[in-house]
Structure 1
């Protein structure tokens, strides 16, 4: 389960070439409270800054992502649509329509391929 659920950027290659999940701090909680054995300084030093946007209120996070990735209005609408569908049922598989795929904003086959891989990591697939 760990290998299937760990995001790619949280994997580390050991000296012997073994790839395994790598994490330096742990947090847990619910919608109202987040807890850790580490203090906030240690969390940030150990990569917690990677989760900054995930800890924001949804509208603030969307605006931060819009600015950071220079997203178009159409891309933001796609983001909101996927978010709304995921929040209703996080385990449901989402399939993007051809018109939604166009909203990604790239005609490059490499860009679409990379997008497909990233989307599949969160259970979002292409309509073929």
Structure 2
């Protein structure tokens, strides 16, 4: 069992997931083909790059677990081998929350195939592979969730080719979401602004609802 990502913690990684999700929720109005790139199912954050790599970060009250799959790597890894050294609470959490999202369908059956995983305990992250190897096997898909806030904001601004007003809106909504753990409601002016930018904002509204963000009609 090896300590990894010692420059960040659970709260920071959660915040980067929220930032990514809000950028996606705003800009999916422009890029509707990216609808399935990111999505939340309660406290499980799913993401993929449409090039065969996907992952889920499952959050509990204090900790998280992340499971990753690279379809370009033919053989999967045994989750119990990758979880060696984890306590029973972590093992149960990974198996019940994160692993089901890695179900792959084939001709005759369904199976769970994973390439890498890591988990947190306290302020530390652990894995049973070296940090460099984990990142390489999953083509650095985790990078936006490991950046500093400013670097992550720049990454998503560039990725979605946001205008300055769009980037400011993302940061405004992000700050409101981070400050509240429960449901939040945004004013009608947000919906009006999205409607000025994009012809169809239904995917935007749906993505916001996944994060417990409602927007007035």
TM-score, normalised to structure 1's length?
Answer: 0.70
Asked which structure has the greater CA Rg, the reply is: 2
Q: Is the counterpart of residue 57 in structure 1 residue 148 in structure 2?
A: yes
- Where does 1:45-124 land on structure 2 (aligned, <5 Å)? 45-47=136-138, 49-89=140-180, 91-104=181-194, 106-109=197-200, 112-124=201-213
Please name the residue that 1:25 is paired with.
116
Higher fraction of helix: 1
Q: Tell me if structure 2 keeps the 8 A contact 1:74–1:103.
A: no
**By how many angstroms is 1:66 displaced?**
0.9
Higher fraction of strand: 2
Choose between structure 1 and 2 for higher RCO, CA contacts under 8 A separated by at least 6 residues.
Answer: 2
Partner Cα distance (2:110, 2:197) in 1: 31
Q: Structure 1 unaligned runs (5+)?
A: none
Q: Tell me if structure 2 keeps the 8 A contact 1:6–1:21.
A: no
Q: Structure 2 unaligned runs (5+)?
A: 1-40, 49-54, 56-100
TM-score, normalised to structure 2's length?
Answer: 0.46
